């Protein structure tokens, strides 16, 4: 998809389609009003017939509007003008793209970017338009015997800006938006692949390919390497699978070698049946998405390299399967982690924390400035926050604010939960240093408490994306979250003055 920014009045644009907004009670946006005047009131006359009220998400495609050189005009309902906000902007942008996806328009010029969104500038609107457009056009049909290659007619999107002085800002926003969108697509593709194809070995191969493309140092540790390191917690999870585990490490150096890196750690369970504590059969197919944390680390590093961010990053992805087998972890087993701490495995389906804890210990060798782990870790997070926000817990409030603000700016939001010492008591074990579960109460928090015991030597935050990494039901599929949040976090970190872009 090609995106360009352009400044100019709508009546002079030759395009396959002009996209303009209409608010409730048939109130024309400023650009729609311009088109109406040039066309001799044609838009207003159509609206008075009652074909579109302006409710959010409504669309009306018009042809042959007088005195307008563009072939079509798409009216998009934007709801009440006073209530038009970030969410509504993203919604109407997506509706417009969906409405035009199967038309003959190969190029569109959208003026939705000129609608006022409180607290957001033209750069934000342009970048969001790119991300939402690409997300709306995404399809995963590579495994169908007859994929529809002709469905996507749209090839070029012109994003309008009000002034010529906005062109430079808009071009930079497009660059960022495309880097994010491409990384989101990568994560969605990896997540949507079935477990028989996307194995730990396959995930490692993708990391090596990204490393080769961008000149990154990429290392894949094998089972023997992990045994030598003493990663007993991680390896205990892999014992039930015939697929060999991989510890994938990517290093991106965009700053001086002396600068401490940001470490991103992503859970890479390519399929999670729960082990001996096996999951219910219903929806177990969705456990192929348990590697979305690992995939998001690949996506974030790819975008950072594409944007050439002046920052050092280390990505660590512990990858395995969690299956029942004669050699698999059993409830009651005790394993020794790389840190030397022992863990009583009370539930083999709480395996993510077992592979992450060794990865956290491994991260210490890079002397990171901060560490962020990303994992589809707990069903409790889905119950607490649904699919709207990722769970956020941290041992450093400033780091938590950085992540929360990055999520707020990108509309890839996270919500901070407490990490109080009182919750640690739920992990007590009579037989080991800790248990791997803390009971039903506060499950997301006790999972993070477990991880915090391996993150005492650095500033650390945990993103639980169990509710945000994929959608279930009719729209089932990976979302690519929290890639936008992570990339904005890295962009903000890369700013030498420490200033954050938006909140």
User: CA-CA-CA-CA torsion for 484, 488, 489, 491, nearest 10 degrees?
Assistant: 140
Which pLDDT belongs to residue 152?
56
Residue 329 CB contacts under 8 Å (≥ 6 apart), including other chains: 236, 237, 239, 240, 275, 276, 335, 345, 348, 351
Q: How confident is the model at residue 102 (pLDDT cuts 50, 70, 90)?
A: confident
* Contact (Cβ atoms closer than 8 angstroms) between residue 168 and residue 175: no
Q: Check pLDDT > 60 for residue 134.
A: yes
Instruction: Name the nearest CA neighbour of 233 among 334, 330, 325, 332.
Output: 334
Residue-wise pLDDT tens digits, 268-303: 999 999 999 999 999 999 999 999 999 999 999 999
Catalytic residues: 279, 353
Which pLDDT belongs to residue 151?
54
Q: Please state the rounded mean pLDDT for residues 310-316.
A: 98
Which pLDDT belongs to residue 11?
86
Helix segments in 193-222, DSSP class H? 200-214
Residue-wise pLDDT tens digits, 153-166: 789 999 999 999 99
Q: Check pLDDT > 70 for residue 497.
A: no
* Contact (Cβ atoms closer than 8 angstroms) between residue 237 and residue 329: yes
Q: Check pLDDT > 90 for residue 150.
A: no
* Contact (Cβ atoms closer than 8 angstroms) between residue 268 and residue 206: no
Q: Please state the rounded mean pLDDT for residues 465-493.
A: 96
Backbone angles phi, psi at 131, to 5 degrees: -65, -45
Structural domains of the chain sorted by starting position, each given as residue range(s) with its CATH number in brackets: 2-160 (3.40.220.10), 181-494 (3.40.630.10)
Q: Check pLDDT > 80 for residue 331.
A: yes
Residue-wise pLDDT tens digits, 437-465: 999 999 999 999 999 999 999 999 999 99
Which pLDDT belongs to residue 501?
62
Residue-wise pLDDT tens digits, 208-239: 999 999 999 999 999 999 999 999 999 999 99
Which pLDDT belongs to residue 474?
87
Q: Please state the rounded mean pLDDT for residues 316-335.
A: 97
Q: Please state the rounded mean pLDDT for residues 323-327.
A: 96
Q: Is the peptide bond before 482 cis (omega within 30 degrees of 0)?
A: yes
Which pLDDT belongs to residue 503?
65
Which pLDDT belongs to residue 149?
63
Q: Check pLDDT > 90 for residue 103.
A: no
Q: Please state the rounded mean pLDDT for residues 414-438.
A: 98
Instruction: Tell me the pTM.
Output: 0.94
* Contact (Cβ atoms closer than 8 angstroms) between residue 483 and residue 187: yes
Average model confidence (pLDDT) for the chain?
A: 95
Tokens representing 167?
């062109």
Q: How confident is the model at residue 484 (pLDDT cuts 50, 70, 90)?
A: very high
Q: DSSP string spanning 397-465?
A: HHHHHHHHHHHHHHT--EEE----HHHHGGG--SSSSEES---STTHHHHHHHHHHTT-TTSEEEEEE-
């Amino acid at each position: 998809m090609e995106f360009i920014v352009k400044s100019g009045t709508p009546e002079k644009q030759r395009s396959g389609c002009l996209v303009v907004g209409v608010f409730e009670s048939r109130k024309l946006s400023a650009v729609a009003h311009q088109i109406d005047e040039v066309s001799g009131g044609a838009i207003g006359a159509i609206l008075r017939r009652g074909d579109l009220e302006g409710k959010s998400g409504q669309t009306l495609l018009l042809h042959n509007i007088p005195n307008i050189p563009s072939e079509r005009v798409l009216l998009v309902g934007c709801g009440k003008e006073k209530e038009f906000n970030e969410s509504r902007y993203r919604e109407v942008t997506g509706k417009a793209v969906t409405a035009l996806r199967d038309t003959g328009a190969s190029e569109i010029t959208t003026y939705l970017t000129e609608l006022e969104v409180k607290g957001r500038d033209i750069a934000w609107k342009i970048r969001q338009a790119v991300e939402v457009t690409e997300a709306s056009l995404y399809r995963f049909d590579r495994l169908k015997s007859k994929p529809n290659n002709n469905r996507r007619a749209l090839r070029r999107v012109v994003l309008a800006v009000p002034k010529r002085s906005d062109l430079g800002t808009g071009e930079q926003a497009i660059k960022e938006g495309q880097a994010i969108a491409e990384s989101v697509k990568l994560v969605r593709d990896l997540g949507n692949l079935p477990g028989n194809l996307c194995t730990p070995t396959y995930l490692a191969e993708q990391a090596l390919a990204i490393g080769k493309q961008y000149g990154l140092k990429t290392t894949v540790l094998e089972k023997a390497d992990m045994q030598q390191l003493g990663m007993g917690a991680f390896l205990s999870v892999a014992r039930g699978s015939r697929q060999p585990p991989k510890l994938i490490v990517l290093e991106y150096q965009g700053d001086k070698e002396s600068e401490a890196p940001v470490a991103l750690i992503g859970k890479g369970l390519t399929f999670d049946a729960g082990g001996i504590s096996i999951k219910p059969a219903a929806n177990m197919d969705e456990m192929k998405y348990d590697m979305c944390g690992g995939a998001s680390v690949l996506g974030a590093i790819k975008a950072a390299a594409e944007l050439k961010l002046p920052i050092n990053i280390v990505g660590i992805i512990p990858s395995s399967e969690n299956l029942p087998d004669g050699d698999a972890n059993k409830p009651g087993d005790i394993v020794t982690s790389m840190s030397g701490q022992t863990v009583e495995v009370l539930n083999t389906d709480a395996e993510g924390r077992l592979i992450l804890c060794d990865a956290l210990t491994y991260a210490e060798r890079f002397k990171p400035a901060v560490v962020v782990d990303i994992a589809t870790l707990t069903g409790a997070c889905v119950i607490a926050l649904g699919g709207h926000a990722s769970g956020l817990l941290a041992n450093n409030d400033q780091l938590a604010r950085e992540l929360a603000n990055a999520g707020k700016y990108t509309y890839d939001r996270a919500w901070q939960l407490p990490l109080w010492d009182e919750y640690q008591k739920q992990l007590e074990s009579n037989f080991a240093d800790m248990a791997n579960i803390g009971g039903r109460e506060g499950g997301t928090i006790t999972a993070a408490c477990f991880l915090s015991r391996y993150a005492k030597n650095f500033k650390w935050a945990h993103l639980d994306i169990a509710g945000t990494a994929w959608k279930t039901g009719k729209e089932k599929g990976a979302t690519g979250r929290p890639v936008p949040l992570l990339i904005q976090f890295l962009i903000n970190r890369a700013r030498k003055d420490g200033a954050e872009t938006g909140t």
